[in-house]
Amino acid sequence: MRIRRVGEGRPLMEHMIETKLGRLHVEVDGEGPAAVLWHSLFVDSGSWSRLRGLLRDGRRLVLIDGPGHGKSGFPATDFDLDDCAEAAIQVLDAVGVPKPVDWVGNAWGGHVGLALAANSPEWCRSLATISTPVQALGRRQRMTITPMVWAYHYLGPIPALANRVAVALLGKTFMRSHPDDTADVLRAFRDPPRSGMYRAMTSVMLNRPGLDPVLPHIRTPTVMVVATADPVVPVAQIHAAVAHMPAARAVELRAEGHVAPIIAKADELAEIIRAFWRDPHDYIGPRALS
């Protein structure tokens, strides 16, 4: 464990924690009720930098680099979302975070949060997902994505492939107007060992099942934020998902891309999340859709 001080003496602790998915890099930022942040596929915990600064007041943020991403290691075999949820519990136990926590997940991180809420609801006070599809890849998506995964496996993050990933995550308009953020996203995709990133791609993207069967069993108050111009997650899919959940609400955010909303719309997202945290059940209300 490494402890350092940032900003006005606020404690920041870094850990490498052994889990069933290998050693995971974790940062614990601040003090107060715990909130866990798990990022999207292809990026790492650095993608939370703007939202993190808006959420940490009075909070203990636990930021996890998923297996094969950031500074984390990765397992020797394929894994699934339930494995990720179990690894998250191992992380929380290791850093001494008591249950329940508020979970915030972007795409993959939202999938892990849904698995955690379904399997271990005692760990979840609330769940916020951002740009998280609930359906498995369709035939057309699979025909596009599978060749990209194989290209990465054999060629690595070559410029043409990295650019396609960046466009899907950020959108062309964002990339033109935020070159520094785009460079950070490309770095997060290029830097990790190829074998770890490839295993994550196959495990939680190509092999991810649809989550529709578990949705009716998730009683954790859940807000599902969807960008209006996300090429991966249709807005209608999220509205249909919350209609099958006992305590969920869909919130549309005018934004593009799969990851760009947590950067370009950080202020709006922070307002949504903080309002939700104040009283999750009241925020859901009579399952009104926004």
Domain extent listing, the chain: 2-284
Select from 116, 24, 115 the least CA-distant residue to 75.
Answer: 24
The Cα 70–Cα 24 span in angstroms is 9
pLDDT in tens, 125-171: 999 999 999 999 988 889 999 999 999 999 999 999 999 999 999 99
What single DSSP character describes residue 215? G
Report the share of the chain in percent with pLDDT over 90: 88
Give the mean pLDDT of 10-23: 88
The Cα 259–Cα 253 span in angstroms is 12
Q: Does the 2-284 domain belong in CATH 3.40.50.1820?
A: yes
| Per-residue CA distances from 155 to 104, 147, 241, 245 (Å) | 33, 12, 37, 41
Cα separation of the two ends of the chain: 42
pLDDT in tens, 240-277: 999 999 999 999 999 988 899 999 999 999 999 999 99
Q: How many of the other CB atoms lie within 10 Å of CB of 158?
A: 12
Q: pTM of the entire structure?
A: 0.94
Select from 184, 171, 145, 141 the least CA-distant residue to 254.
Answer: 171
Residue 31 is predicted with a pLDDT of 92
Over 90: is that where the pLDDT of 5 sits? no
Residue 235 is predicted with a pLDDT of 95
Residue 134 is predicted with a pLDDT of 95
